[in-house]
Amino acid sequence: TRVLGIEGTAWAASAAVYDSATETVEIETEAYQPDSGGIHPREAAEHMGDNIPAVVERALGHARELAADDSDRDAADPPVDCVAFSRGPGLGPCLRIVATAARAVAQRLDVPLVGVNHMVAHLEIGRHRSGFSSPVCLNASGANAHVLAYRNGRYRVLGETMDTGVGNAIDKFTRHLDWSHPGGPKVEAAAKGGEYHELPYVVKGMDFSFSGVMSAAKDAVDGGPASSASGTSSDRGSDGGVPVEDVCHGLQESVFAMLTEVSERALSLTGSDELVLGGGVGQNARLQAMLGEMCEQRSADFFAPEPRFLRDNAGMIAVLGAKMYAAGDTLAIAESGIDADFRPDQVEVTWRGTEET
Ligand code: ATP
């Protein structure tokens, strides 16, 4: 199977081709970089409109090359068997542009359309690349934070954020510092030169909350109320705040420990001994190290896909699209509407064998 995938839920205008015979995934992405502040939905949608046609053409170019090497294929056949697109969750104005592009390409090539849940794609790419059969998955992305496991035909949300997504929380903190978007990699770099500064840690049941720790981090650099609770005067920067490197260090330790604790409890609850990581925040080496260590201590296997599959990308959409297509899980154009709040547990998992419960 060869699939064209199209992704555009927030910042990545991305198209990819996945060829299952050769396990090739070619990804073409144009990233939206806000001039100031965070992601503006209207500007992001304009970015999609400006860039999706070009990335799709580039991905189709790869598909034609792969098709030319495919001896089973008739010369008159389209270069891909179907077009898969991210239906949600994401920013509505962006999703509408991506869906329109996907419908147009599918009609032009006369192939079926497959509607993919973006969060399930973040999870399935890890399962696909690891070869694990039934892992627990931690999705640590910009707009979300979920711990998921498969049971009886669906991915169940075992734990999730009660407020903002984990990456968005980090980005809000760095906006406060006037650092450019995205903030995650800059916090990771700054944390390396810092000492631990204690910040709140909030896990309730299996859910996490990031807004309190973010406010406390902002207060700490400003020398505001929460920072006086911990640290000594010698910790303070020249303006009375805690040195930013120390806050970044403490922020990573708190937030990633929360994600690690809930992941560990999910492993224990499900009896699974496999964990996969997904989402853009998953590119963080400290998060990967904490999860890896926790898994090692309980003799579980841990897998983090390579960075191009962690951040938003159309490769994961194409790979899950191929599985859904093989299961006959395609969409009529008339039913191919987007869903900005599409939850992973709304998806009927058609592509996994009945032996896995
Ligand atoms: P979603 O998949 O929920 O729609 P998204 O579209 O915002 O999320 P992703 O590409 O999954 O996108 O994640 C982007 C987020 O990852 C940003 O918030 C960014 O700051 C964060 N991020 C990127 N690299 C790192 C890193 N090294 N450490 C921590 N966070 C990071």
Please indicate whether the domains covering 2-123+309-346 and 133-305 agree at the CATH topology level: yes
| Per-residue pLDDT tens over the stretch 177-205 | 999 999 999 999 999 999 999 999 999 99
> Given this structure, which CATH class describes domain 2-123+309-346?
alpha beta
If pLDDT is split at 50, 70 and 90, which confidence band does 35 have? confident
356 band by pLDDT with thresholds 50, 70 and 90: very low
CB-ligand 1 contact for 139 (6 Å cutoff): no
User: Atom 29 in ligand 1: which residue has the minimum CA distance?
Assistant: 184
- The pLDDT value recorded for residue 36 is 82
Ligand 1 centroid to Cα of residue 55, in Å, is 21
Q: Hey, which of 188, 312, 338 would you mutate to test ligand 1's pocket, going by the most ligand atoms within 8 Å of its Cβ?
A: 312
**Domain map of the chain by residue range?**
2-123+309-346, 133-305
- Let me know if domain 133-305 sits in CATH 3.40.50.1000: no
Ligand 1 pocket residue status of 144, Cβ below 6 Å: yes
Q: Note whether 164 and 151 are within 8 A (CB).
A: no
Q: How confident is the model at residue 237 (pLDDT cuts 50, 70, 90)?
A: low
Instruction: For residue 173, give the nearest of 229, 230, 227, 213 by alpha carbon.
Output: 213
Could you tell me whether strands 274-278 and 301-303 are parallel, antiparallel, or unpaired per DSSP bridges? Answer: parallel
pLDDT at 350 over 70: yes
Burial of residue 140, with CB atoms counted within 10 A of its CB: 0-12 exposed, 13-18 middle, 19 or more buried: buried
pLDDT for residue 108 is more than 70:
yes
Contact 145, 117 (CB under 8 A): no
Q: What is the mean pLDDT of residues 324-347?
A: 96
Section 30-54 average pLDDT: 94
Q: What is the pLDDT of residues 127-177, one digit of tens each?
A: 999 999 999 999 999 999 999 999 999 999 999 999 999 999 999 999 999
Structure tokens at 139: 């999705």
| Residue pair 48/11 in contact by the 8 Å Cβ criterion | no
Q: Is 123 in the pocket of ligand 1 (CB under 6 A)?
A: no
> Could you identify the atom of ligand 1 that is nearest to the CA of residue 174?
20
pTM of the entire structure? 0.93
What average pLDDT does the chain have? 94
CB 280 within 8 A of CB 119: no
Instruction: Using the atom order of ligand 1, give the atom closest to the CA of residue 166.
Output: 18
Contacts by residues 157-160 (CB-CB < 8 Å, ≥ 24 positions apart): 157/343, 157/344, 157/345, 158/206, 158/262, 158/266, 158/269, 158/270, 159/205, 159/206, 159/207, 159/208, 159/262, 159/265, 159/266, 160/207, 160/208
